[in-house]
């Protein structure tokens, strides 16, 4: 019974691998566009975080000087 389960899992994994490789080749430019969007989103979030940290540090420095 366990051997049959392993065989089913292996067959399912092979089919999923083949379908994934096919999808990767057919929809390559879609994946590139998603990756570009994620990079842009990361830059926006990272830039906003850097500005927020800089403002917070300046406010702390001003408060401690007073």
- 1-59 pLDDT tens trace: 788 788 889 999 999 999 999 998 999 899 899 999 999 999 999 999 999 999 999 99
Tally of domains within the chain: 1
Per-residue pLDDT band for 65 (boundaries 50, 70, 90) equals: confident
Q: What is the pLDDT of residue 6?
A: 80
| Three-state helix/strand/coil letters over the chain | CHHHHHHHHHHHHHHHHHHHHHHHHHCHHHHHHHHHHHHHHHHHHHHHHHHHHHHHHHHHHHHHHC
pLDDT at position 36, please? 95
**What's the confidence (pLDDT) of residue 56?**
95
Structural domain boundaries enclosing 44? 2-65
Q: What is the pLDDT of residue 64?
A: 86
């Amino acid at each position: 019974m366990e051997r049959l389960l392993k065989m089913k899992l292996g067959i399912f994994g092979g089919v999923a691998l083949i379908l994934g490789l096919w999808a990767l080749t057919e929809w390559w430019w879609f994946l590139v566009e998603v990756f570009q969007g994620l990079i842009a989103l990361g830059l926006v979030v990272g830039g906003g975080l850097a500005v927020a940290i800089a403002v917070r540090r300046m406010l702390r420095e001003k408060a401690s000087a007073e």
